[in-house]
Every structure is written in structure tokens, then in C-alpha cells.
Amino acid sequence: RAAIEALAALLKSKSNSRRAVNRGYLGGLLRLYQDWHHNDVSNNYIYIRRGLLLCLKHITNIQLGRETFLGSQGMEILFTSVQDCLSCKNLDPIITTVTQILRKCYPKESLPVTTVRSSYFFPLPGNAKAEPPCEGSEGEWLKGDYESDGEEEAEKDLDNEDVESKEEDYDLETDVNKLRPRPVLDRPEEELGQYEAMCPELSHNFQELESESEEEKSLEDRTESLLSTPSHFIPSATSLKHPKYRWRNQSVTEMGPDPRKKDFKVPLQSWTKKEKCRWDPIDEKRDIIEAAQDTDSCEEEDPARSHALTLRPKEAAWYKKMFYPECEASINPSPGGRLESSDIVTNLLEKHQGDIPFHSPRFYIARAKCVKSIPDYKDWAFPDFWGHQPPPYSKPMLERKYGVQRDKVLDDVRRLIQPGDVIGRTVFDLDEPSHSSPGAPGCLTFCSKFESGNLRKAIQVREFEYDLIMNADVNSNQHHQWFYFEVRDMKLALSYRFNIINCEKFNSQFNYGMQLVMYSVKEALQGRPRWLRAGHDICYYKNHYRCSAAAGGGMRGKCYYTLTFSIKFPHKDDVCYLAYHYPYTYSTMM
């Protein structure tokens, strides 16, 4: 043990590691490790085994060491050996070190996209000749950008290697309390007071409310002060109830039933009387005309869009079967296979008029038709059109499964070791739709071509596992942490795994118990239109994808991170929407 630890200490030097590789020591260390692993059946010599692994870990800090490790079948040897250790918690030191070596030696790749630039480009005003920023070849950087081992580093010792390693692999920590500390405020707390007019939660502790009467009194006081102030008032679902509140020409009754009621089981007679005139075709045209003319909050309407917009999901057969089976004979789809939006809206609202949240879907449509977007969206996401209400209960932070991050890293390594298990089929591609195979038997169907939607590419890895790539901000090659997409054709009681593989942040609240949000169309049509926290086996960790310096805005070998989560969908053949957080579109704000 002492000899192995001394050798590991010497190999912290890159020059010593080079000598060890050139003299063929790496293969000998692998054979020694295998021998100790097979013979130490009682796990009495864990520190000797870990010492051998530390020697391999230091050698693979240099590019020559990684190449020799791969050529010596080191990935296969360590991956196979660690499978015997996963069930024993006492072997955590070995498992952690093996995981670090495997992740470091996994061959680096660029993302499976033609370019990391955004799929959308918009020439800025006054810059008529503007063109998308050019990039170098995305395949040329692997030798130069990532951890170059030039002559100037040949004799550099890594005395602080332990510190660097700890920083490098912090995201593999299995104890959530030992993860990198949560981020602090980016400004002094006393400076937040200037935002209290817009964000009452900064100064009001809602947990201290002791009774509903106090809450109602506080709400009245705040609403009275807001109504008496000529500044812009941002309405909330609760404030819509206030008797003095009006949304331009809309009365409170036009906004629908009380959003705090659990399932909106209001008497149909009163709801129909109040809404019949609102949802009549003549008033619909009037609303659209008024919305188009309202230049204070809406840009000039594009005539082509008012006739082209459709509602997601758009398949006529799906709508007939789910929304109005008894009216199937009376609905005629258009030749292109889509239903006209007016038909869809009319039938949806007539059939489910008692299950609609506090906003008016027709009013939302009128607003959305006025909005111009760079991608020229022609679809609506169902949650934005239909609306939503808060869940009727509080949900605690998700308790993280022990060792979930390293398990996911080992799953990624399995793709390299056992490539025969990987399907590798593109099922959604925003850049090249013709190269994708949506609707393939047994796979999910994806879409994000709606306002605030973000999904660039979806690749089926295994039967129930998908790699997802997000699109960057417009005119940019970065900022793609946000996701919001639609998924269909799922099976019941099966766990689907999703890996978003081009995240950029070094850490995420997904490592601290945060969950994504999910909206189910079937649940909404049954009177429960809610964004709910969903997902299990959630974690966030660094992957093997890298970005070139040219594409990454000058950052050498920028790392990407994976957000992985698994979901069991509540219904078969449902249409569900998954998002980073509650979506808030521009049309909703209007």
C-alpha cells in the first residue's frame, strides 16, 4: 500500500506520467488492478485497489495517457469491474475513482448538430448586411482545444491536483449536502427594496399568514393601493376576483370562474349565460379586430398569420377521437389534414366549457394572432391556449436517490462499451425535418414549434430513452438552458428517460430537489388544467460533449452538462408538455 501510494504521488507530475506511459507501465497497472479486484473477494484491501486506480487517474491527466488507456481496453476493464462494486456502499472510494477515470477518458465529441448557432437568425435594424457569425470547423478542435499537452507544459507539476480534481468532479458527489454551495445573491439584500412594487413577495412573508381573513384583508389593501396608482398593474389569478378590477373592456365574469376552486365545477347555466355572447362568432371577429387595432399592447397584425395558425396537437383524427367523438361526423378536416382553428376552438369550448381556467381562450387567440415571431410560429401550445390553475396542494422538494449521478455517468459509458444497444434514430430535427423519422413505431413524437417552445433535436437512444438538444438564443451560440416541448404517443406505466445534453451551467437546482413541470392535455380536459412538478431520478452532471473555441465564444473546450430525468406519464396516448419552469409567453403577457 505504501509503495502504491508513493507511486501515485510521483505520477501527479505530468513529466513522470509521460515516462510511465512511454515505459509501458499503464498496461501493467491495469493488470495489477484486475488481479487485486478478482482476488480481494472479502474487500480487505480496498485502499490498495484505490491506490492503483489513483495511479491510473494521474496518468490519464495527460492526453498521451488517455490515448494509451483507451488502446489498452482500459474503459472496458474498469467498467466491467465496477459493476461488481455498485451494490456495496463500502466500495464507494473505488466506485467514485473509477467513475472519474471513465468520464475523463471518454472520447470527447462535438454535439450531434451541424452547428451550435441558433436555428433562428434575425438581421438587426440598421445592419442590412448582417450575416450569421461564421465558425471554424467543429471537428478540428479536438486535438487543439481540449487540454492541450504542449511542450510548455511538459515539466509542469500538478501540486494542486487534488484541489483541481475535487473541483472537476464535484458534480459526482452523492451527498447533496456536500455539493458545491448554493449560489448567493448577486447584489446586497438591501438593494432589493427597489423592486418591492413589482414583487411583493420580497417584503411579505406569506408563511406568516394565520387565517384566511388576514389574507383577504391584505389582498384588499394591496389591490386598493394598486388600483389607485396610475402605474402599470400586472394582474394575477387572485386579483381578478376583486370587484373593482377590470381588464380593459372585459368584466370579471368574462374571465371565467374562480381560479381557486378545485375543479371549476360551476353551474353550467350561469357560466353559459355569461359566456354565450362572448363565444359567439360575431364577438369572436370583434375581439380579433379590437386586438389587432390595439397598438398599445400589440404589434401590427400579419394578415397571413390570422389564417394559418393552428392549435397543437393538430392531427384531425386525434382531436375527433379525444375531444368530440359524438360530433365526429360533423367535423370536416381541411385537405392538409389540419382542422381550421375556429372549428377546433368552437368544439373544444362547447364540449368543455365548465373546465376552463380563469382566462378566455378566445381572447388569448386574438392576442396570439397579433404577435410576430422570428420563427413565424403557426401553432399554439395547448397549455397557453387553454390556460392553467395552480395545483391544489404543496409538494416537497424531491429527495435525491443515493448515487444517482454516477449511475447515469456509467449508463453513458455503457453506450461506448456496448454500442449495439444504441438505436441512434433522430425523431425530431428543427434544422433538417426531412432527416428525422417522427411517428416511427414505438417511439415518442416531439414538437416545439410554438411560442416559447425550445427543442432543437431529439434522438432515440434506447426504446424508452431520448437525448434532447436545445436551441440557442436567436443570433447566438449559447444560452440554451430553457426547455419547453410537446411529447405524444406515450405508453402507460412505463418510465421514459430524457437527457438534455447541451446544458451550460456548472450546477443546477435540479441537483437540490427541483423538478421540471408537466402539463397533461387529458388531465386538463377532465377539469384539472395544471402544471405539476414531475420526474424522478433527476440529476445534473458534466458529459463528454465539448464545444470548439470558435463556436463557444472564445472559451477553450467549453464543457456541456446533462440534465437527466425520468417520467411516467399519467395517461396512454396523451399529449404532454414538459418545461424547465412554468412557461410565460409574450402573448400571455399581452
DSSP 504-552: --S--GGGTT--EEEEEHHHHHTT--BEEEE-EEEEEEEEEEEE-TTTT
Better pLDDT: 166 or 101: 101
Q: 262-276, 342-356, 357-371, 375-389: which range is least confident on average?
A: 262-276
Cβ atoms within 10 Å, residue 495: 12
Nearest to 117 by CA among 479, 391, 444, 588: 479
User: Does any domain span residue 49?
Assistant: yes
Report, in angstroms and rounded to the nearest whole number, the Rg of the chain calculated over CA atoms.
Answer: 28
Domain endpoint, select from 88, 105, 122: 105
Which H/E stretch holds residue 270?
A: helix 268-276
Give dist(CA 143, CA 165) in Å, integer: 22
Going by pLDDT thresholds of 50, 70 and 90, the confidence category of residue 249 is very low
The mean per-residue pLDDT over the stretch 248-266 comes to 38
Domain count across the chain: 2
Strand partners, 575: 488
Contact of 345 with 252, CB cutoff 8 Å: no
pLDDT digits (tens, 9 = 90+) for 18-64: 999 999 999 999 999 999 999 999 999 999 999 999 999 999 999 99
* Backbone torsions φ then ψ of 493, nearest 5 degrees: 65, 25
Contact of 30 with 77, CB cutoff 8 Å: yes
CATH number of the domain bearing residue 504: 2.60.40.3120
User: Does any domain span residue 79?
Assistant: yes
413 has pLDDT over 90: yes
User: Does any domain span residue 312?
Assistant: no
**If you count DSSP H runs as helices and E runs as strands, how many of each does the chain have, helices first?**
19, 13
Q: 388-392, 415-419, 426-430: which range is least confident on average?
A: 388-392
User: Does any domain span residue 305?
Assistant: no
pLDDT digits (tens, 9 = 90+) for 113-168: 988 888 888 888 876 555 555 444 444 444 444 444 443 343 344 434 444 455 56
357 has pLDDT over 90: no
User: Does any domain span residue 22?
Assistant: yes
Contact of 570 with 523, CB cutoff 8 Å: yes
User: Does any domain span residue 131?
Assistant: no
Domain endpoint, select from 71, 105, 139: 105
545 has pLDDT over 90: yes
* Domain of residue 14, residue span: 1-105
Query: What integer pLDDT is reported at residue 193 of this predicted model?
Result: 82
Contact of 574 with 490, CB cutoff 8 Å: yes
Nearest to 305 by CA among 375, 359, 361, 362: 375
- How do beta strands 379-380 and 310-311 pair? parallel
Query: What integer pLDDT is reported at residue 54 of this predicted model?
Result: 96
Q: What percent of the chain has pLDDT over 70?
A: 65
Alpha helices in 352-489 (DSSP H): 361-370, 382-386, 404-417
Nearest to 378 by CA among 287, 449, 428: 449
User: Does any domain span residue 499?
Assistant: yes
C-alpha 425: how far from chain center: 20
User: Does any domain span residue 88?
Assistant: yes
Domain endpoint, select from 105, 133, 160: 105
